Structure 1
Amino acid sequence: MRSKIIVNEAKEWISREDTRRHPQLDLFGEEREACDREREEVRRVLSQVSNILLNGCDLILDRIFDRIGFNRIDDEVFRKLVKFRLAYSTSKAATVEYLKNHFGEDVDLSKIYRYLDKLSDHQHEIVQDISVRHTAKLFGGNIGVLFYDVTTLYFEADYEDDLRKTGFSKEERHSNPQIILGLLVSLGGYPLAYCIHEGNKYEGHTMLPTINEFVSKYGLENFVVVADSGLMNNANIAELETHGYKYIIGAKIKNESQEVKNWILEQPKRDCQMVEYEQGGLHPNNADGKTSENS
């Protein structure tokens, strides 16, 4: 009997000690719950589907379009471009053919091209505002995580201009003029903001202006900026800390020393658990000399 009591006490001590050494952290609790609620709503709607029509996708996307709030932009061309980008993702010319062949709608291709200028010049801020407010609503009124990354888009063109410049291409098309596209998203990939820069610009210089403008515009508080180590240079980290922003750097394990690699690989892989490693010197991209890895 005494031995059984001792065994139970030992198990309780091990459990307490494990909790103390490896605290369970949930950085995205509210956002995750909001995403789960949204998925459950989608499952509920789909479970009630009893018949599929040719225009079934069109009807569903119409409801979603209105529910998010994009009907603030009273323009049928915009509605069609959004819906059929989701339902039939292809070129503008092919979209025109799709609308004509399946829905009997004769939309002039030149009208779509002219609308893109209108969207870029006058309506993109309205689109962003609708998207941000919908995302904040899903997450209980607060956007707590900002993921930022960039890509490059090249053009089949022979000459550069003021925007399209040759530079480091992520698609390995170094001889083609390109632009840099930066995207700011929240948890779950909800789009928040984007930026376009000259193709020869250093990508690290695109992050802070985009984040600062977004934070100022929407009055964000208590959020975390997440980006990879290529964007988190020392100057950017210093500015993040000057503004008091919390941040997480995504780094490649292969770039660390063998000692750090071994330590990381030895850690138990558990959801919502964070472990910390104190480095002897300064990390090349982290001024406080600490590396944090999410398991």
Structure 2
Amino acid sequence: MAYVRTVKTASGARAVQIVHSSRRGSRDIEHIGSAHDDAALEALKAVARQRLAVGQPELDFGPDFAALQAGSGAGGGPLAITSSRMGYLWDALGHAYQLLGFEEAAGGDEVFRLLVLARIVEPTSKLDSLRVVEEAGFDPPAYATLKRRLPAFAKESWRQKLAAACARTADLGPASLVLYDVSTLYFETDAGDGFREPGFSKERRLEPQITIGLLTDASGFPLMANAFEGNRGETTTMLPTIRAFMDAHQLADVTVVADAGMISAANQQAIEAAGLSFILGARIPDVPYVVQAWRHEHPDEQIPDGHIFTQPWPAGPKDQRRDQII
């Protein structure tokens, strides 16, 4: 951002400067000159405005506007920008918000809507989100109003309504493929409170944290998010989230797709006990027979990219699992 300012010097003259500032607070000041009378001051201001307008052509509003501008004494210089609005961006985000059903799920709560849209524009704190709303050209709610609404946003029923809206958008069917993964959010504090607790951190941080579990459909569209204690193991968060989602949407079966780090032996047994389908990416200790057979039949060839091998893996009499396919 750049603007013209006038400051009084020690000699009593008035200096005209161009200030280039950033949101972080850094500034670069360009000195244009000093004036001892009003005529010289206006001349220096005109020079400063011309420098700011370099490379920025002015719109031609026609002779009527030029006459109006001359009559108002504004001269032929650039017009001052009094406000700005992220109209196209904000309208597009608001339209998507409505199409996803969040407007109805949130009961038309304007504070929640502004908070969601602001954090899409710039992920930041709740307090700083109000600044984003204002920079977008809209009137932000008071911070006290935002804090009063937070208890309602934190209720389980609120999240269930949003999850239901996501499920309707995803058009889930009777055999739905869902993806699940977790992450952690840490807090700038040294003391835990039973929920925010130090635990395993992929960022190797020691501060208290919480574990966030995200359930999505096959395309990555979010379906449900749950929060767990920061010291809770990742593998123990998956089944509670999936069961809650199935109960909320009356789903008889889902296919769980996960990497080996998310499926523990206990998790796999629980999935088997629940009768759920799953696709598990895991290391196989031995080369499957179908791969050995292919190499035997094609000794001098490389396995083509994208080639798919399938091999039945029947359950034995002592195995507590269903028949599987590798």
In structure 2, give the amino acid aligned to 1:127.
Answer: L
In structure 2, give the amino acid aligned to 1:91.
Answer: S
In structure 2, give the amino acid aligned to 1:54.
Answer: M
- Given that 2:272 and 2:321 are in contact with CA atoms closer than 8 Å, whether structure 1 keeps it comes out as no
In the TM superposition, what is the alpha-carbon distance from 1:142 to its structure 2 partner? 5.1
- Given that 1:152 and 1:179 are in contact with CA atoms closer than 8 Å, whether structure 2 keeps it comes out as yes
Show the counterpart of 1:186: 217
Q: Alpha carbons of 1:211 and 1:222: their partners in 2 closer, same or farther (altered >3 Å)?
A: closer
In structure 1, give the amino acid aligned to 2:89.
Answer: C
In structure 2, give the amino acid aligned to 1:126.
Answer: K
C-alpha separation in 2, matches of 1:240 and 1:79: 37
Show the counterpart of 1:153: 185
**1:37-186 to 2 correspondence within 5 Å?**
54-72=86-104, 73-121=107-155, 122-136=157-171, 141=173, 144-173=176-205, 175-186=206-217
Larger radius of gyration: 2
In the TM superposition, what is the alpha-carbon distance from 1:91 to its structure 2 partner? 2.6
Q: Alpha carbons of 1:143 and 1:63: their partners in 2 closer, same or farther (altered >3 Å)?
A: farther
* 1:183-222 alpha-carbon deviations (Å, 9 max, x no partner): 1111111111122111111221111111112112212134
- Given that 1:179 and 1:199 are in contact with CA atoms closer than 8 Å, whether structure 2 keeps it comes out as yes
C-alpha separation in 1, matches of 2:254 and 2:305: 25
* 1:104-132 alpha-carbon deviations (Å, 9 max, x no partner): 41421232233232111252221111111
TM-score, reference length from structure 2: 0.61
- Given that 1:152 and 1:171 are in contact with CA atoms closer than 8 Å, whether structure 2 keeps it comes out as no
Q: Paired residues, what number?
A: 227
- Given that 1:165 and 1:200 are in contact with CA atoms closer than 8 Å, whether structure 2 keeps it comes out as yes
Return 5+ residue gaps in structure 2 as ranges: 1-84, 296-301
C-alpha separation in 1, matches of 2:147 and 2:219: 31
- Given that 2:90 and 2:136 are in contact with CA atoms closer than 8 Å, whether structure 1 keeps it comes out as no
User: Residue 227 of structure 2: which of 192, 196, 221 is its match?
Assistant: 196
What is the SS of the residue equivalent to 1:62? Answer: helix
- Given that 2:212 and 2:228 are in contact with CA atoms closer than 8 Å, whether structure 1 keeps it comes out as yes
Greater helix fraction, Structure 1 or Structure 2: 1
C-alpha separation in 1, matches of 2:207 and 2:86: 41
Whose relative contact order is higher, 1 or 2, with alpha carbons under 8 Å and at least 6 apart? 1
Percent of aligned positions that are identical: 31
Show the counterpart of 2:304: 268
C-alpha separation in 1, matches of 2:324 and 2:103: 48
What is the SS of the residue equivalent to 1:276? Answer: coil
In the TM superposition, what is the alpha-carbon distance from 1:153 to its structure 2 partner? 1.4
Q: Alpha carbons of 1:142 and 1:107: their partners in 2 closer, same or farther (altered >3 Å)?
A: same
Q: Alpha carbons of 1:156 and 1:132: their partners in 2 closer, same or farther (altered >3 Å)?
A: same
